[in-house]
A and B are shown apart, each in its own frame.
Chain A
Amino acid sequence: MFRAVFRLSATGARSLARSRACYTAPLASRCYSHGKVESDEEFDARWVTYFSKPDIDAWELRKGMNTLIGYDLVPEAKILESALRACRRLNDLASAVRILEAVKDKAGPHKDIYPYLIQELKPTLSELGISTPEELGIDKL
């Protein structure tokens, strides 16, 4: 459900109000003319599974992250946790930090999303030893 809050399209509140009925139920249908619509939970689950692949390779990580960042939403904490663990399997700390930077940028003017995500990811970050950009001081110029 949080994904509905995180939806960042330019039409913003207007579209949210117009299609409010479409967001309430988990398996709600959106205003498409045809085709089964994926719910927020299904979307999240699909991406968590993608990054959870044990032998994920670097290309798949890059492709997944770039595609995910291309969507008009801020990924849920569980998707990011899965992606960060994939970075760990690939021994790539730099990409893990980059993912956190990208997510902060995705939140745009909604300044409260990123601190919330960091708070949710804190256990994972300390377990894997990933420093946030703020801790490394690279969030400033």
Chain B
Amino acid sequence: MKELERVNNPHGDDKVMDACGLFGIIDTSGRRFSGEAVIQAITNMHDRGNGLGGGFAAYGIYPEMADHYCIHIMYATPASKPETEVFLKRHFTIAQDEEVSTRKARGIVKPPVLWRYFVAAEPHCPEGVAQDDYVIERVMEINTQIEGAFVFSSGKDMGVFKGVGFPEDIADYFRVEEYKGYLWTAHSRFPTNTPGWWGGAHPFNILDWTVSHNGEISSYGINRRYLEGFGYHCTMQTDTEVVAYAVDLLVRRHGLPIEIAAKVFAPPFWDQIARLTDEEQELCRTLRQVYASLLLNGPFTVIIAHQGEMIGLTDRIRLRPLTAAVKGDRLYLSSEEASIRLIEPDLDRAWIPMGGEPIVGRLKVKAVEKGKIKARA
């Protein structure tokens, strides 16, 4: 295990209490827009966070390199960069690499070196191994074996920008307003049980999956052990990480629709199941039996995203807030309605979803066909 505490937690924070702020927008027509609106919205929830973590995920931002995995890496030690680059050259074809563009920003203290690599898995990926699986294995190797190096984004045509600071400061630092995407999520952190360090900021990522979370996943231990059996290793010292891996396992590898995955994370209670039709009962029982170890216990609201889809989900008894809203082609998700109204005062509809019911925004098929957005292979 790496000595994360010394390297990454100079603030020495340990346990504080309050909420986190979540925000997300998807334009289902596939139209790209600047990060400005999402920055404004998450900044409006400044008081939900405490400056120990802010971050953004953006989809559709690297259209000219959309066929390549974009690996964002934070280097906390000088030696970790050359060591990682030797590893990357051995396992990938690097098409392009550059420092992640940043500027001096208020409140950003001791940032790690941040680098991005556009890579292809060919010709290194062995035959018969899915490229996505190959990439995950390499990401896990970097995160568990190279001291001081952390991959915090590894999808195609998307990227995560995150670190220790308030989200508005992180946005300024990463020049988030300069990117254009059709799907944005944002997080303002108030760490509860785990340290505030750069890798521990949300959104959490694997491939193009990102997860931002408000709450506490008390089933972390059992979720983590189960996921280790499938090759996912938790290195970010934060409960939320398991959700990113779990959704990759259920949706990408096991092929479940997100609505079914939601029933794994937030299953109906047994007494509710008993009132369903026979067919629904069988489905719910089977899911609870097969995926018992992926049930997420404890209070949570998450915004999950991947290429073409954004999902909001809360725990079954809704111990953390979520408001959804629609305007034209856009779906908004937020911890607070005011942040949505700030950037779109004239909504078609705003509502508070029931606990455990996923709210899903999907790219319209037309947008995918037109080639505006690359559909997932």
Q: Do A and B come from one complex?
A: no
